[in-house]
Amino acid sequence: MHDLRRQALLESRKTVSRKAASREASRSTSRVASAQTSRQNSRQSSRAASRYPSDDEDEGNLSDETETWSTGSLDDLADNPESDNVDWPEELADCMQDILDRKRSSVQGREESLSAFCRLAKFHYVEEEIRGSIQDLLAAFLRSIKYEGSVRESVLALKALEFLAVTAYDDTIYDAVESLLTKTIRDSTSGLIKVAAINCLGTCAYFGGTSEDAKMDQMNMLLDIITSDGQSIEASADYGVVTAALQQWGFLATDVEDLEADSEEVVEILIEQLASVDSNVQIAAGENIALLYEKSYTPQEEEDEIDEDELDEEGEGGDSSASGGPKLIERYPAYHDKYHLEQILASLATGRFGCVAGYDEGFTEDRSGRIQEGGENEEFDKKDSQDITTQVMVGFLLAFVVTLPLMLIHTSKIRHLFSLKAVVFPIAALGVVCWAMSANGGVSAGALQATTSKPSSTAVFA
């Protein structure tokens, strides 16, 4: 397992300790190069985060530090600022010593040491260097999380714990951290800490040694956060928290074999999140819907018999032979109303997300739980159409009443009749129509849309 992970990290340009290739050469070279300055500069390096990144960048991008690195792109690792750092094993050793020596450290010092640890663990394969200190580091990280000396210290400790879980691949980590992480998610007063704790819990549940039942328990807790829009953990309307919960639910779902029993209910919850005003929430919800549909398909086996009519209806959507993979067949429906879901997703994909994001204005929900499109409901559409008809008819009637006496007064002067009609009638008609519209509060955009784009609503004119 460690060999496979080492190969994957190498392919993503993550460097490996030189001790693995030549322990003696690395030690002698690094000691000679830094004999006079290693100890002195190492403390400065950890306190200044070795300028990868700087303190200002850490403070300014604290929200970025809360995002789980496991959901990022491997392209982020293509630019490796640590590629020329040949002394990273010594720097890591000093950094770990600072982290473990809590009694002699300050909050700021721990922040800088944790930031340096995260940087080194991100760009180097540190499994060999931390192998003998896993439990000590775990205890130190948990202390920083528990006592919350500062928001930044707790966030960095949570992120460092993520790197530890992924790198160490220790099956005891999840049991050691689950209760504290759950408590932090529920009780912390900082939204940033809640987000970091959710990400950390997902990573530890995936890599830290847990059963599928335990993963499902965490996924149910994450669904509670999603369904309540963060209210279940006292983070009402915190889109960062909801986004993190959606991302970690999907991350854990990739490791669950069968989600058939939960698919229908979860898709309903995710459809509601597609109506969020936050684009990150919409994206995470859409990705999870796609994942649930993907998991409803499995490779076709020899004993499977496929009805030709079903193949005609599905088209080529389930045939992955063109890409070199096996043919896929649908084992169960991920959601009962696929057509309706496709309509909502098409609205988002084509940029008409205003009516989706404005869920309360753009959709109505009936007792069956289906979301019905229409902005205002059909009764309001008909009422708006009738209002427009009334306004136009009243306007033209009043215009005729106003202009008729004027034309009768000047009937003896035929030469003025046509010029008078050409001037008075349009002006009077325009004025009366404007008056009628203003008296009714103006014509709403929804009413105009009802008369132009909805034939069923304009049937009242017939």
Segment 27-82, tens digit of pLDDT? 444 443 443 444 444 444 443 433 334 434 444 445 444 344 444 556 665 678 88
Q: Are residues 105 and 228 in the same domain?
A: no
Give me 256's structure tokens: 């669950």
Last residue of a domain, one of 315, 347, 375: 375
Q: Stretch 373-383: mean pLDDT, rounded?
A: 46
Residues 277 and 146 in one domain: no
Instruction: Reduce the DSSP state of residue 372 to 3 states and report it.
Output: strand
- The pLDDT assigned to 12 comes to 47
β-pairing verdict for 297-299 and 328-330: antiparallel
d(CA 377, CA 412): 55
Confidence of residue 338 (pLDDT cuts 50, 70, 90): confident
Q: Average per-residue pLDDT in the chain?
A: 73
Higher pLDDT, 394 or 177: 177
Q: Flag the least confident range among 14-23, 99-108, 295-304.
A: 14-23
Same-domain check for residues 32 and 153: yes
Measured distance CA(22)–CA(24) in Å, rounded: 6
Query: Are residue 46 and residue 156 in the same domain, yes or no?
Result: yes
At residue 298 the predicted structure's pLDDT band, cuts being 50, 70 and 90, is confident
Instruction: Give SS3 for 104.
Output: helix
Is 309 a domain residue?
no
Which of 157-166, 339-348, 388-397 shows the highest mean pLDDT? Answer: 157-166
- pLDDT exceeds 60 at position 242: yes
418 compared with 360, residue with greater pLDDT: 418
Do 164 and 26 belong to one domain?
yes
Backbone angles phi, psi at 330, to 5 degrees: -80, 120
Q: Which pLDDT score is estimated for 46? A: 40
Does residue 179 register a pLDDT over 90? Answer: yes
pLDDT above 60: residue 158: yes
Q: Quick check: is 314 in a domain? A: no
Quick check: is 205 in a domain?
A: no
Local structure of 329: helix, strand or coil: strand
**Whether residue 10 sits in one domain with residue 146:** yes
Q: Based on the fold, state whether residues 430 and 404 are members of the same structural domain.
A: yes
**Are 45 and 156 in the same domain?**
yes
Q: Name the more confident of 33 and 296.
A: 296
Residue 18: what pLDDT?
Answer: 46
Position 426 scores a pLDDT of 62
- Shared-domain flag, residues 224 and 269: yes
Asked if residue 448 and residue 361 are part of one domain, the reply reads: no
The pLDDT tens digits of the residues spanning 180-197 come to 999 999 999 999 999 999
pLDDT at site 307: 59
371 or 247, which is more confident? 247
Sort strands 363-365 and 328-330 into parallel, antiparallel or unpaired: unpaired
Residue 462 CA to residue 389 CA, distance in Å, equals 12
| Final residue of a structural domain among 151, 167, 196 | 196
Best CA proximity match to 123, nearest among 170, 88, 73: 88
Q: How many domains does the chain have?
A: 3
Q: Is residue 201 part of a domain?
A: no
pLDDT grade for 225, boundaries at 50, 70 and 90? very high
Between the ranges 227-241, 311-325, 339-353, where is the mean pLDDT highest?
Answer: 227-241
Q: Is residue 348 part of a domain?
A: yes
Q: What percent of the chain has pLDDT over 70?
A: 54
Instruction: Specify if 34 maps to a domain.
Output: yes
**Judgement on whether residues 64 and 8 belong to the same structural domain of the protein:** yes
Most confident of 70-84, 117-131, 408-422: 117-131
Residue 323 lies in a domain: no
Better-predicted residue by pLDDT, 326 or 176:
176
Q: Which residue has the higher pLDDT, 50 or 256?
A: 256
Q: Within this chain, do residues 6 and 36 fall inside the same structural domain, yes or no?
A: yes
Rounded distance, CA 173 to CA 204, Å? 7
Partner residues linked to 328 by β-bridges: 299
State the residue range of the domain holding 168. Answer: 1-196
Stretch 76-91: mean pLDDT, rounded? 82
pLDDT at 280: 95
Whether 283 shows a pLDDT value over 60: the answer reads yes
Residue 206 domain-assigned (yes or no)? no
Q: Is the pLDDT of residue 333 over 70?
A: yes
Cis omega (within 30 of 0) for bond into 53: yes
The predicted model gives 324-348 an average pLDDT of 85
